[in-house]
Amino acid sequence: MYRDRLPLFPDTVALRPGQNGSPSLHVGGCDLNRLAAEWSTPLYIYDLQTIDSAVQAYQDALSRHYPGPAGITYAGKASLNLAMARLMAAHGLLLDCTGVGEMHIARAAGVPPAQLLMHGVNKSQADLQAGLAHAGTLVVDNPPELERIAQLASARGSAPALWLRVRPGYAVDTHHFRQTGQHDSKFGMDADQCVDAIAFCQRNDLPVTGLHFHQGSHFHAAEQVLPALDMVCELMGRLQRQLNWWPQVLSPGGGWGVVYHEADLPHRPVEEYVATVAAALAEKLSPYALPLPRLQVEPGRSLVARAGIAIYRVGTVKRAGGRRWLLLDGGMADNIRPALYRARYSALPVTDPLSRAPISENAWLAGPYCESGDLLIEDLPLPEIKSGELLAVPVSGAYQLMMASNYNGALRPAVVMLRDACAQLAQRRETVEDLLLRDIV
Ligand code: LLP
C-alpha cells in the first residue's frame, strides 16, 4: 500500500528481517531500528552511496552535454560537517562556503584552498579576510564589497580568483523565500555594475576570472534558466567588446529541485537540467571565436537531500477533534521547512512499513515544541501506529539540520554516515551542557 513512498528513500533502501523477524527498513546495509537503538532519536542518517551516485549523475551529464570544460561546486549550506566536507572534496568538487563559519568547517576538514569558494551577500570583514586568506575563489556580490576586497588584497599582496555575482533579473519558479535572481533581489549586480566591476578589476590588477548567477532554489523546469543565460551571454558579449574581457568560468548556480512526496514522483533527472544549460550555453556562445568558459554548476539539495533520512520515535498518540496526532520527539527544531515554506514530506514506519492494513484516519505528525506551527507532516495516510514506534522521514538530507535551532532547549540530533553496512557517527547529539557553552558563568 505504501510502496510508492520507497523511491523517496536512498538508492540502497531495502526491506529485510529486523531483530524480531518483521521486515524492517534498511539503508546502506544497516537496519534503521538498530541505528536508532544505538544513537537514539531524532537521528539523521546519510547513505553515502546515494551521494556518490548524485555526484556521478552531474559529472556524466556535464561530460555528455557540454563541449567545454566543466566542474561541480557543492553548496555547503545544504548540509555541512567534517565528514560531508571531506566526502565532497574527495570527489574533487569545489566547496562553496557562505562566510567565515562554513569556511572554518571546511578548513578543519582539510579541504585544500584551491577547492574552497566563498559566497555571501553582505560579507563581514571577517568573512572577507577568511576568503582572501583561505579560498581559491571569492564570489563578489556588490561594488562596495569589491572595493573592500581591493584594499585587503593590496594589503596582503595577493587575491584569490574573483567571480562576479550577476543579478540576471529572472528568478525561477519556487517559494518566494527561495527566489534570488529577480530584478529587485538583494543578491548580485546588474549588467552595468558588472561592466564597471570588471573595469575596476582591470585597473586594480585584480584576478577576475568568472561570472556567476543563481536564480533560486528548488525548481523543476530546466527551461527557466534560459532567460538568465541569455542575459549573461549578452553581458559576456558586451564585456568582450568594451573591455576585451572574457570569463574563464561561468557558474549558473544551483537550484535543481528534488521530490519530497510521493505525489510528486518520479524524480526529474539532473541530466534534464544540465543538458538544457549546456546546450543553450554552447549555442549562444558559438558566434564568438573564443574558448567556452568552464561550466561550473553549483548544486546543494540535489546532491544530498535524498541521501538523508530523519528517524523519529513516536511518543504520544492522540485523537483530538477527529484528528489523529502522532507526536514525535523531533519537529520544527530540526526541520523548520514545513513551517517556513509549507514543505510537504512523507514518512514510513521503520518496522513492517508496507504490509500493514491502511486505516481511514490520516495522521498528523507534530513535534514536542510549544507552538502549533511545529507540524512536520499534515494529513498523511499511515496505518495504525503505536507509541514507541519509529518513523522514517525521507529526503531529509538538505537544509534541515543546517537550519536547526535550540528552540525550547532542543538538542540538535546526531548524524550518522552509512556505507557498505558500516555506520559511522559523524556528529554527536548535542547535550544539555552544550546549551550552556556560550553563557558567562
Ligand atoms: N548557490 C547559491 C549562491 C545559493 O544561494 C544556493 C542556495 C545554492 C547554490 C544551492 O541551491 P540548491 O541546489 O541547494 O537548491 N533553505 C531553503 C533553501 C535555500 C537555498 C539558498 N541558496 C530550503 O530549505 O528550501
The domain of 56 spans 49-304
Of all protein residues, the one whose alpha carbon is nearest to atom 23 of ligand 1 is 399
Cell 570544460 belongs to residue: 69
* Same structural domain, 84 and 25: no
Q: Are residues 94 and 213 in the same domain?
A: yes
Q: How far is the CA of 364 from the centre of ligand 1 (A)?
A: 28
Binding site residue list: 255, 298-301, 337, 341, 371, 399
337 CA: nearest ligand 1 atom: 24
Residues in the chain: 441
Annotation: binding site for substrate = 301, 337, 341, 371, 399
Q: State the CATH number of the domain containing residue 367.
A: 2.40.37.10
Instruction: Find the 309 Cα to ligand 1 centroid distance in Å.
Output: 19
424 pLDDT exceeds 90? yes
Q: What is the pLDDT of residue 90?
A: 98
Q: How many CB atoms lie within 10 A of CB 119?
A: 29
pLDDT in tens, 367-400: 999 999 999 999 999 999 999 999 999 999 999 9
Cα 28 to middle of ligand 1, angstroms: 26
Reply yes or no on whether the pLDDT at 232 is more than 90: yes
Confidence at residue 374, expressed as pLDDT on a 0 to 100 scale: 98
Same domain as 256, residue 189: yes
**Cα(298)–Cα(256) distance, integer angstroms:** 9
Which ligand 1 atom sits closest to the C-alpha of 398?
24
Query: Quick check: is 393 in a domain?
Result: yes
Whose alpha carbon is nearest atom 9 of ligand 1?
254
pLDDT tens digit sequence for 168-191: 998 898 989 898 998 999 999 999
In a domain, 423, yes or no: yes
pLDDT tens digit sequence for 305-329: 999 999 999 999 999 999 999 999 9
Looking at the fold, whether 124 and 143 belong to one and the same domain comes out as: yes
- Claim to verify: residue 233 and residue 351 sit in the same structural domain: no
23 within a domain of the structure (yes/no): yes
The verdict on 286 and 401 lying in the same domain is no
Q: What is the pLDDT of residue 20?
A: 82
Asked about 370 being catalytic, the answer comes back as yes
Of ligand 1's atoms, which has the minimum distance to the CA of residue 218? Answer: 15
DSSP one-letter string for 150-170: HHHHHHHT---EEEEEB--B-
CA of 300 to the centre of ligand 1 (A): 6
**What pLDDT shows up at residue 171?**
87
Alpha-carbon distance 441 to 439, whole Å?
6
End position of a domain, from candidates 304, 326, 351: 304
pLDDT over 90 at 97, yes or no: yes
* Ligand 1 atom closest to Cα of residue 299: 13
Closest ligand 1 atom, CA of 180? 5
Select from 251, 301, 337 the residue to mutate for testing ligand 1; criterion: most ligand atoms less than 8 Å from CB.
Answer: 301
Rounded to the nearest angstrom, the distance between the alpha carbon of 347 and the centre of ligand 1 is 24
Band (pLDDT 50/70/90 cuts) for residue 19 is: confident
On whether both 58 and 179 belong to a single domain, the answer is yes
Average pLDDT, the chain: 97
CA distance 230 to 277: 11
Domain endpoint, select from 277, 304, 331: 304
Spacing, Cα 218 to ligand 1 middle (Å): 8
Q: Any idea what the CATH number is for the domain that residue 195 is in?
A: 3.20.20.10
Same domain for 346 and 385, yes or no, is yes
By alpha-carbon position, which residue is closest to atom 15 of ligand 1?
255
Kindly state whether residue 441 falls inside one of the protein's structural domains.
Answer: no
321 and 295 assigned to the same domain: no
Half-sphere exposure of 7 (CA within 13 A, CB side): 11
Find the mean pLDDT for residues 239-246.
98
Retrieve residue 44's grid coordinates: 539523521
Residues with CB under 6 A from ligand 1: 75, 77-78, 119, 178, 214, 217-218, 253-256, 298-302, 337, 341, 399
In angstroms, the CA 11 to CA 209 distance is 38
CA nearest ligand 1 atom 7, residue: 217
State the average pLDDT over residues 74-103. Answer: 98
The full DSSP string for 398-433 is: SSSGGG---GGGPPPPEEEEEETTEEEEEEPPP-GG
Whether 121 and 263 share a structural domain: yes
Query: 373 in a domain, yes or no?
Result: yes
A 10 A CB-CB count for 263 gives 9
Last residue of a domain, one of 258, 287, 304: 304
Task: Exactly one of 97, 194, 370, 422 is catalytic; name it.
Answer: 370
For residue 291, the model assigns a pLDDT of 96
**Which pLDDT score is estimated for 18?**
85
Q: Which amino acid is at 334?
A: D
Asked, for residue 227, whether it belongs to a domain, the answer is yes
Nearest CA to ligand 1 atom 22: 217
Measuring CA to CA, which residue among 353, 405, 401 is closest to residue 16?
Answer: 353
Task: Please state the atom number of ligand 1 nearest to the C-alpha of residue 119.
Answer: 3
Task: Check whether residue 255 and residue 169 sit in a common domain.
Answer: yes
Predicted TM-score of the model (pTM)? 0.98
Domain tally for the chain? 2
Q: Does a structural domain hold residue 167?
A: yes
Contact 71, 77 (CB under 8 A): no
Ligand 1 centroid to Cα of residue 252, in Å, is 12
pLDDT at position 292 is 97
- Let me know if residue 409 belongs to a domain: yes
Q: Are residues 285 and 326 in the same domain?
A: no
Annotated binding site for pyridoxal 5'-phosphate: 255, 298-301, 399
Q: What percent of the chain has pLDDT over 90?
A: 96
Q: Which of 178, 217, 344 to mutate to test the pocket of ligand 1 (most atoms within 8 A of CB)?
A: 217
